[in-house]
Amino acid sequence: MATIRGRVEAVGPLRFDRYASEELKMLTRSQLKARFVSLSVNGKDAKLSRSVEAGDDFALELLDEEDRSSASAPEDIPLSVLYEDARVVVVDKPQGMVVHPAHGNWSGTLANALLGRFAAEGRAAPARAGIVHRLDKDTSGVLIVGKSAAAQEALAAQFRARSTVKTYLAIVRRGPSADSGRLDGWLARDPRERKRFAPSSEGVGKRALTEWTVLARAGGYAVLALGLRTGRTHQLRVHCKALGCPILGDPIYGSPDGRFPGASLMLHAWELRIRLPGDDEPSTFRAPVPERFAATAAALGLDGFPLPPGGAAL
């Protein structure tokens, strides 16, 4: 992977991809998109469409040609399919699987698995293997993929409009004092640690909205239903920490737990409600509670905890 740093010189407001292509003669815009990993402008994460002007500092990360080749390679990786038709495939992503290839994870990703699945079916894969949303590596659960460019865009438009309903389950330490609530604020990268995010002042970073309900409590732990109303990186993990009840097993926003020292992240994307391309009414998809989650709940005496009402906002 290559990192290119520089300062924009002598140009008025212009999309970064056009600036890199037309002014710097770096790559064509399509080549930039194909090899794009990340972009920051003046220290803040940005998209290729971000407008830049003279004096802006940028850092652009691109895949090397060798990395790009391996990142787009189809692989025969079994997937747990929850639903499939001619338009979409809905999978239960396992904990530990990365969604998109990136530095350190060029193979074995969900994208590689989907490309392998499409190739086996003799189907041309849409851009980014049809993926329209993501889950963190250590988060398991339901994820929907478009099987054509048209289906992919129909799904992506709903995520952009925030018309989807996404409900997660989490086992947290301590548990909030109230039985339900709402966190509505702003998140930005932690200035002390670039891999972390933290609550920020209004207008700094991106707005993040989470609704939560306690499903069960026991022994200083709780099971929460988390309604993700915006899809910010690490949003639920940061918000649980802000509530004073970090997610059990969170290596970034939590700390080792004395009772469950080997716990992995107890966060699971349980339900997604979305309208399939061409349908008038939304469909609801659920990923079963994973074994790691059920076993921990059982150890707390919380096995059989009530699940939230399906297909509705909390």
- Which CATH superfamily, name and number, covers 165-299? Pseudouridine synthase (3.30.2350.10)
Task: Between 106 and 19, name the one with better pLDDT.
Answer: 19
Question: So where are the chain's domains?
Answer: 2-62, 72-161, 165-299
Contact yes or no for 228/235 (Cβ under 8 A): yes
pLDDT surpasses 70 at 312: no
pLDDT surpasses 90 at 72: no
Band of pLDDT at residue 61, cut at 50, 70 and 90: confident
pLDDT surpasses 90 at 16: yes
CA distance 173 to 182: 18
CA distance 282 to 280: 7
pLDDT surpasses 80 at 60: yes
| From the candidate CATH numbers 1.10.645.10, 2.160.10.10, 3.10.290.10, 1.20.120.80, the one assigned to the domain spanning 2-62 | 3.10.290.10
Query: What average pLDDT does this structure show over 29-45?
Result: 84
Band of pLDDT at residue 44, cut at 50, 70 and 90: confident
pLDDT surpasses 60 at 68: no
CA distance 247 to 264: 10
Q: Is 93 helix (H, G, I), strand (E, B) or coil?
A: strand
**% the chain with pLDDT above 70:** 95
Residues in the chain: 314
pLDDT tens for residues 150-179?
Answer: 999 999 999 999 999 999 999 999 989 999
Q: What is the pLDDT of residue 63?
A: 72
Half-sphere exposure of 19 (CA within 13 A, CB side): 24
pLDDT tens for residues 208-261?
Answer: 999 999 999 998 999 999 999 998 889 999 999 999 999 999 999 999 999 999
pLDDT surpasses 60 at 71: no
List, by residue number, the catalytic residues: 136
CA distance 261 to 157: 41
Q: Was domain 72-161 assigned CATH 3.30.2350.10?
A: yes
pLDDT surpasses 60 at 65: no
Q: What are phi and psi of 186, to 5 degrees?
A: -125, 145
Task: Between 311 and 128, name the one with better pLDDT.
Answer: 128
Q: What is the pLDDT of residue 45?
A: 85
306: left (phi over 0), alpha (psi -120 to 50) or beta: beta
Q: Which DSSP string do the residues of 187-252 spell out, in sequence order?
A: EEEETTEEEEEEEE-TTSSEEEEEEEEEEEEETTEEEEEEEESS--TTHHHHHHHHTT-PBTT-TT
Q: What is the pLDDT of residue 28?
A: 82
Contact yes or no for 304/178 (Cβ under 8 A): no
Task: Between 227 and 12, name the one with better pLDDT.
Answer: 227
DSSP state of 263: P
Q: Regarding beta strands 44-45 and 36-41, do their DSSP bridges make them parallel or antiparallel, or are they unpaired?
A: antiparallel
Burial class (CB within 10 angstroms; exposed 0-12, middle 13-18, buried 19+) of 279: exposed
Q: Is 160 helix (H, G, I), strand (E, B) or coil?
A: helix
What is the Rg, in whole angstroms, of the alpha carbon atoms belonging to the chain? 21
Query: What average pLDDT does this structure show over 60-71?
Result: 64
Average per-residue pLDDT in the chain?
90
Q: Do domains 2-62 and 72-161 have the same CATH topology?
A: no
CA distance 57 to 59: 7
Q: What is the pLDDT of residue 310?
A: 61
Residue with tokens 């009840």: 245
Burial class (CB within 10 angstroms; exposed 0-12, middle 13-18, buried 19+) of 62: buried
Q: Which DSSP string do the residues of 249-296 spell out, in sequence order?
A: T-TTTS---SS-TTPPP-EEEEEEEEPPTT-SS-EEEEPPPPHHHHHH
**End-to-end Cα spacing for the chain:** 42
Q: What is the pLDDT of residue 36?
A: 83
Query: What average pLDDT does this structure show over 86-92?
Result: 97
Task: Between 16 and 303, name the one with better pLDDT.
Answer: 16
Q: What is the pLDDT of residue 103?
A: 66
pLDDT tens for residues 257-295?
Answer: 999 999 999 999 999 999 999 999 999 999 999 999 999
